[in-house]
Chain A
Amino acid sequence: MELLSPEGLRQDGRRPRELRNLQSAVDTLGNADGSATFELGNTKVMAAVFGPRAAQGKSSGGRRDADIRCEFAIAAFSQSERKQLSKRDRRILEVRSMLKEALKANVLAELMPGTTIDVYVQVLAADGSIGAASLNAAFLAVADAGIPVKDLMAACVVGLVQDTPILDLNQMEEQMSRGPSLMMAMHVGLKKIVVFQADGRMPVEGVETLAELAEGGCQAVGKAMRSVLLDNTRKLALARGPVRL
C-alpha cells in the first residue's frame, strides 16, 4: 500500500508536513498535584504528577536535587489488538527511560533538594507517536503542578516515506513505513534538543532533513501547548476574583 498518494497526500488526507488535530487540557484529575491529557489525532495520553513531596524510598534521602521517577503504561484497550503489555516490556521500558531523562533535563531539580517527583503517564488510545505524545502530556502535567522548569519542552515524531519527510506519524505509517524515523524533543524557546532518537538507515543529509522538519514540528506543538497553559493560568487568575490590569 502506498503511504503517499500520487498527489502527495497521506492515507488520512494530510499533507506531508501537517500535524494531526491537537488537543490538550491541564488539571484533568482531581487527586494529582498536576495532570494533563494530550491528544494528537486518535492518540490520547493522560499524565499525572505527584510532588514535589518529601523524599520517598530509601535511596533518595540526602540528595542535592529532586528525585524524578517515572511510570509509563499502555492500556490494554488502547490498540487495535487488545493486549496487556507487561511492565517489563522493552517498548515500555524504553519510553519510560526516555521520559525520565527528558524530564531530568527539563526540571530545575536542584531547586528542590530532598524531594521526590512522581510522574505517571498512561496511554489511553494509541495511534502512533506515543513517545512524543507521552512526553508532551508529562510536560503539561509537570507545568500544571507548578514545578519550575528550564523551558517549555515539546516533542514530535517525523519519518521518511518514499523519500518525503512526513510529520507526526500515525500507527499505520509507523508500521508500514520501513524508512527511517526520528523522535525529537526540544526546549522550544532555547532551541536546544533534549531528546534525539533516530533510527533506520539514512545518509547524513537525511538526518538533517528530518531534524529540521522535527524542529518545526516541535515549535508548532509547543505553541499549542503554550496557549493551553496560558488559558489555564488565565482561568485560575480569574477564579481568584476580578483581575485588575
Chain B
Amino acid sequence: MLPEIESATSRNDRVFIVKALAEEQRIDGRKPFDARLRKIQIAEDNSGVTVQLGDTKVMAVITADLEEPRADGGRQREGSIRFKVDVGPTVSFAADTTRLSEDEQLITRLLQKAIRNTGVVDLEALCVSAGRKVWALAVYVTVLDHAGALVDACFLATMAALMAHRRPDATVDASTSDITVHSPDVREPVPLSLHHTPLAVTFALFKEGDDLVMDPLLKEEAAAGGQVTVVVNTAGQVCAVQQLGGLGLSLEQVMRVVRIAAGQVEDAAAQIRAALDTHSTAQLAARVRRQQGHAAHAAKAKAAAFLDVALPPLSTLASVAFEADAAGPSAAAQHQEDTEMRMAPPPGVPAEQPTVVNASPAGSTQLQDVSDSAARATPDASFDAIAARIAGTQLTSAGEGKAVKQKSRARNRKSDAW
C-alpha cells in the first residue's frame, strides 16, 4: 500500500475502524468476512474485461501475437504469457507515474507466480508450429480506481479476461508448412485451454492478527497492522500466499486465514462464469444481427451488379484480403469462399472485423458447416462474381498475386457464365 495513503487517513478514522471491528462492525456495514459487490463486464467484441469490486475498478486486456518461441531449451513447443500491471495516475494523488511502483511490482510478481508458474494456461496448446511460431499472450492489467483489495480485483479481472479470451485459429499446411491465420469469420476463434482458476483473497489484520477483515477498504488497509493475500483456486488448492511485514502472525493465524480464503473463491468464480454466460449469449445475438444486416447488404449488392453499376460501397467493406487456396483445385472448390489471411493481422487491426464475403445467405451463421459448398454454389453465383472482382482488384499486388489472379480468373469465368 502507498505509505502516503496512511498519512492521508485521519487518526480518528483509524481508531474508529479498530474499535468498531471489536464488535464485528465495519464502516460500510459489512461483516468481517463479507466481500463487496462484484461486477464483471466483458466487452462484446472480446477486447477486454472490466471488473469492479466495490469502488475498486480494474480492466484487463489480453493480446495474442504470433512470435518465435524462446530459444532456451525445452520451450520450443510452448507459447508464453506475460503480465503488465499499470496503476495509473488517476488512482491516487500519491501514485508514482515515473517508475514502476511497488504495488505494480508486487501484483505483477504475484500474477506471475500464481497464474503463470502454476500452469493455469496450457502453454503447449499455444504452439502453432514447434520452433517457429507460438502464440505470445500479453495480459495488460490497468487499475482504474483503487478503493482497497487491489490484488483481488486484479486477479478477478485477469482470470475473467483469460476465460473470455478467444484467439484466431491458425493452421499449418502439411505440404508447404505455411502458417495460415484464419479470420474469425471463417473459423470460430479458439478459447484458451485453462487448467484451474486461482483467485486472490486479501485480508487486513488488526489486533495482533486475531481480528481480520476480508476484502478491506482502502481506509481499513490504512488502519490495519498488515495484510495477507492468499491465492486459492476453486479446487481448494493454494497457489500463493503473500504476507510481507506488518503484524507478525502465528502459524495458527496464518493457517486460519488460508482456510477461510479457500472457502471464499468459489463464489467469485461462479460470478465469472455467470458473466461469461451472459457474454456469450449477447455475442451470439449480436452475430445474428450482424449477419442479418450483411444479408440485406448482399442482396442490395446483387441488385447493383445486375444493373452493372460500380461497386464502391462493397469494396470498402471488404477490409480483409482475399486469398486463393494454396492447396489445389479440389480444396479450393471446397473452401471456395473462405477468406484467409496469411499470418496474423497487423497489431492495430482488431481480428474480429467482419468480412462481407462470408455473409452470403446460405452461410448465414458460423454455426453451419462452412465447407458445405454444394448448398451455396448455385444461389450465390452472382455474389461470387462480385467477390471475385473485388479480389481481382485488391489482391493482385499482394504476395500470392499469381494464385489470386488464377482464382479470380476462375471466378470471372463463372460470372461470365452467369
A200 touches B241 (CB 8 A): no
Main secondary structure of the interface of B (DSSP, over half): mixed
A196 touches B249 (CB 8 A): yes
Per the bound structure, the CA–CA distance linking A230 and B277 in Å amounts to: 64
Interface size (B, Cβ < 8 Å)?
Answer: 37
The proximity string for B residues 99-128 relative to A, scoring 1 for CB distances below 8 Å and 0 otherwise, is 010100110110011100111000000000
A90 touches B105 (CB 8 A): yes
B241 touches A196 (CB 8 A): yes
A101 touches B245 (CB 8 A): yes
A202 touches B237 (CB 8 A): yes
Residue picked from A94, A182, A215, most chain B C-beta under 10 Å: A94
- Decide if B246 is an interface residue (CB 8 Å cutoff): yes
- Decide if B254 is an interface residue (CB 8 Å cutoff): yes
A105 touches B245 (CB 8 A): yes
Pick from B102, B106, B119, B262: contact of A204, CB below 8 A.
B262
Per the bound structure, the CA–CA distance linking A94 and B103 in Å amounts to: 11
Q: Which residue of B lies closest to A102 (CB)?
A: B245
The proximity string for B residues 248-292 relative to A, scoring 1 for CB distances below 8 Å and 0 otherwise, is 111100110011001000000000000000000000000000000
- Decide if B163 is an interface residue (CB 8 Å cutoff): no
B114 touches A196 (CB 8 A): no
- Decide if A12 is an interface residue (CB 8 Å cutoff): no
Which segment of A2-10, A26-34, A205-213 sits at the interface? A205-213
Pick from A97, A192, A195, A212: contact of B102, CB below 8 A.
A97
Which residues of B, 203-228, contact A by the 8 Å Cβ criterion?
226, 228
Q: Which residue of B lies closest to A211 (CB)?
A: B251
Interface size (A, Cβ < 8 Å)?
Answer: 36
| A192 CB, min distance to chain B CBs, angstroms | 3
Residues of A within 8 A of B250 (CB): 191-193
Residues of B within 8 A of A98 (CB): 244
B244 touches A101 (CB 8 A): yes
Pick from B105, B119, B196, B258: contact of A207, CB below 8 A.
B258
- Decide if A82 is an interface residue (CB 8 Å cutoff): no
| A160 CB, min distance to chain B CBs, angstroms | 12
* Ranked 5 nearest A-B pairs via Cβ: A192-B248, A101-B245, A105-B245, A101-B244, A198-B241
> What are 15 pairs between A and B in contact, CB < 8 Å?
A93-B100, A105-B246, A187-B248, A192-B247, A192-B249, A193-B243, A196-B249, A197-B240, A197-B243, A199-B117, A199-B240, A200-B240, A201-B196, A203-B237, A207-B258
